[in-house]
Amino acid sequence: MLKATVHVTLKPGVLDPQGKAVQHSLAALGFGGVEQVRQGKYIEVDLAETDRERAHATLDAMCRQLLANTVIENYAIDIAAADIAE
């Protein structure tokens, strides 16, 4: 089994109303000096696959087809260094 993580973030320049809302809430709570907040998604995927290259290709396809909207979002795939035997 391979454990992978995917970060999906808005591309630079794309408005992030959710991040802005968090920033304003932080200000309302008294946290000053917050210059920017951007919110993205963090997805952990456990794959029944042992080949890292194949896993990466599969995850890339998952991102393009479902996990990310590539028009406005970037994604980054990380596969944990070692196979985890369970």
Q: How far is the CB of 62 from its own copies (least distance, A)?
A: 6
Q: How far is the CB of 49 from its own copies (least distance, A)?
A: 6
Q: How far is the CB of 25 from its own copies (least distance, A)?
A: 6
Cβ proximity to its own copies: between 51 and 71 the closer is: 51
Structure tokens at 16: 């992030």
Cβ neighbours of residue 49 closer than 8 Å, sequence gap 6 or more: 1, 2, 55, 58
Question: How far is the C-alpha of 62 from the C-alpha of 38, rounded, in Å?
Answer: 23
DSSP state of 3: E
User: Under the rule (CB under 8 A), what is the footprint of its own copies?
Assistant: 1, 7-9, 19, 22, 25-26, 29, 31-49, 58, 61-62, 65-67
Question: How far is the C-alpha of 3 from the C-alpha of 64, rounded, in Å?
Answer: 19
Cβ proximity to its own copies: between 14 and 34 the closer is: 34
